[in-house]
């Protein structure tokens, strides 16, 4: 006997099992009719013993079989808090991610927490302060594929010169870079990426670029959810993914934004990051509701022309979107989803893992493009002409200081120049200084 009624809890499931057994054996020595079985079920329903819910068949997807979910803290120095506060928070987040990875290290593969560190600044700040034991643990989870470090220190504007780009790809100590072997770079929010940066990435062995563009005052050069090969003047290519905006992975599973308020400061006690049970609950009813919403979103992607079997999306926390901590229950949500056998499969991955998955299914047919990728947000830089002029004067002074006319530099002088170049890179970070630096250039915060 089959039924399309699904009990809502374990007690209800056990009771339904007994009812079905009675129906097969017969009640009072005779085969129970379907009508009698329904009467028993209705009696239990109205008596409050169990609740039954109609289980509608999930709508079928045409192409998408897997969603690769990339979790990170989007790094926006100066936007949510003072830059020094942001750097300290990002360093602490790496500790949280490491603890979550270690806690799930012995779990089945599909239930392990995975984290992508979006910027090398956070990693370098953490590494310099970490104990030998914590460094060993960090490298352990990196080798296990639970934490990945992407290749760049910040989300940049197109005003970095050649020396700055060299510094951008050499932010970490060389021995640590060799140990981590970054293969993917991330440029989020900003709607462009300089070709000079692409060259430096390729020079360092990085071949993937993940982009989660913010459409405000601009947008992606191609439709979202597009993979393409970006050919450089020397013939080398980067494999690029134009994803949804960097935090929009959350909206695959929930149509309602959990974030409250505007963009509160970290010290604002009226707001907090989500806790377990606030979002992405892993109980069956919640997961199935998320699945129904997800399938509808993915069907829209397919109607818009998406035809690959894998779709990578990224997700941040729902506190502020930017500069937010890890959410370890995401691993439980993904595991619960897959244990229920829901389709498409949900896979928690690091960014390179996602890019490799995508390259496998989309790389052979992805289009190839060449040329410069202009950042339309660069118009904001013109609103701070004095500061930009000072930055460019400093760059010229550093170039003059390294002239061969003065002879070879001492090691201490070279270290000072390296630190000053890093400071200038930070100036060219896309909102370095303040979220109000353009709107309110003379405010105290700016």
Asked whether 211 and 243 are in contact (CB, 8 A), the reply is yes
What span, in angstroms and rounded, lies between the C-alpha atoms of 124 and 149? 10
What the block records as the tokens of 88 is: 């300290």
How far is CA 203 from its chain centroid? 25
What span, in angstroms and rounded, lies between the C-alpha atoms of 107 and 42? 41
CATH level 2 (architecture), domain 66-370: Alpha-Beta Barrel (3.20)
Place 20 in a pLDDT band, splitting at 50, 70 and 90: very low
pLDDT tens digits, one per residue of 158-186: 899 999 999 999 999 999 999 999 999 99
Q: pTM (2 decimals)?
A: 0.85
As a whole number of Å, the CA-based R_g of the chain is 26
Q: Is 33's pLDDT higher than 60?
A: no
Name the one residue in this structure whose structure tokens are 């109205």: 46
Mutual angle of helices 132-143 and 120-129, in 10-degree steps? 140
Q: Is 37's pLDDT higher than 80?
A: no
The residues, any chain, with a CB within 8 Å of residue 322's CB and separated by 6 or more, are 74, 75, 76, 79, 80, 263, 316
What the block records as the tokens of 94 is: 């790496």
What span, in angstroms and rounded, lies between the C-alpha atoms of 169 and 188? 17
pLDDT tens digits, one per residue of 299-338: 999 999 999 999 999 999 999 999 999 999 999 999 999 9
Share of the chain above pLDDT 90, in %: 73
pLDDT tens digits, one per residue of 66-77: 999 999 999 998
pLDDT tens digits, one per residue of 107-131: 998 999 999 999 999 999 999 999 9
What span, in angstroms and rounded, lies between the C-alpha atoms of 315 and 348? 11
pLDDT at 301: 97
- Residue 401: count of CB within 10 angstroms of its CB: 13
What the block records as the tokens of 57 is: 């068949």
Q: Is 27's pLDDT higher than 80?
A: no
Place 28 in a pLDDT band, splitting at 50, 70 and 90: very low
What the block records as the tokens of 119 is: 């910027």
pLDDT at 26: 44
Domain segments of the chain as ranges: 5-54, 66-370
Task: Give the mean model confidence (pLDDT) for residues 249-268.
Answer: 92
pLDDT at 395: 96
């Amino acid at each position: 006997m089959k039924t399309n009624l699904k009990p809502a809890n374990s007690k209800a499931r056990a009771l339904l099992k007994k009812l079905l057994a009675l129906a097969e054996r017969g009640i009072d020595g005779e085969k129970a009719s379907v009508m009698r079985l329904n009467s028993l079920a209705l009696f239990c329903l109205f008596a409050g013993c169990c609740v039954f819910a109609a289980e509608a068949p999930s709508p079928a997807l045409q192409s998408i079989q897997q969603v690769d979910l990339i979790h990170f803290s989007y790094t926006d120095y100066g936007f949510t808090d003072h830059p020094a506060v942001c750097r300290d928070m990002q360093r602490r987040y790496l500790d949280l991610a490491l603890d979550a990875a270690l806690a799930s290290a012995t779990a089945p593969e599909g239930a392990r927490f995975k984290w992508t560190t979006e910027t090398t600044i956070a990693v370098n700040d953490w590494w310099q302060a970490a104990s030998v034991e914590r460094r060993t643990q960090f490298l352990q989870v990196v080798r296990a594929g639970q934490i990945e470090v992407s290749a760049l220190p910040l989300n940049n504007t197109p005003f970095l010169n050649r020396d700055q780009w060299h510094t951008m790809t050499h932010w970490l100590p060389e021995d640590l870079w060799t140990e981590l072997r970054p293969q993917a770079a991330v440029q989020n929010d900003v709607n462009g990426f300089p070709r000079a940066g692409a060259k430096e990435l390729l020079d360092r062995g990085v071949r993937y670029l993940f982009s989660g563009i913010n459409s405000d005052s601009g947008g992606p050069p191609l439709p979202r959810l597009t993979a393409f090969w970006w050919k450089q003047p020397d013939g080398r290519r980067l494999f690029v993914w134009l994803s949804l905006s960097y935090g929009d992975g959350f909206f695959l599973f929930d149509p309602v934004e959990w974030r409250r308020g505007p963009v509160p400061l970290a010290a604002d006690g009226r707001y907090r990051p989500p806790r377990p049970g606030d979002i992405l609950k892993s109980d069956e009813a919640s997961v199935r509701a998320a699945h129904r919403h997800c399938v509808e979103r993915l069907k829209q992607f397919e109607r818009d022309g998406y035809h690959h079997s894998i779709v990578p999306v990224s997700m941040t926390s729902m506190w502020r979107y930017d500069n937010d901590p890890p959410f370890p229950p995401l691993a439980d949500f993904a595991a619960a989803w897959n244990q229920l056998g829901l389709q498409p499969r949900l896979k928690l991955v690091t960014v390179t893992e996602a890019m490799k998955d995508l390259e496998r299914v989309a790389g052979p047919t992805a289009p190839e493009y060449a040329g410069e990728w202009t950042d339309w947000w660069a118009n904001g830089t013109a609103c701070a002409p004095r500061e930009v002029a000072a930055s460019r004067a400093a760059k010229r002074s550093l170039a003059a200081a390294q002239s061969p006319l003065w002879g070879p530099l001492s090691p201490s002088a070279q270290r000072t120049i390296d630190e000053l170049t890093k400071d200038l890179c930070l100036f060219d970070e896309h909102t370095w200084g303040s979220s109000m630096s353009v709107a309110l250039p003379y405010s105290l915060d700016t």
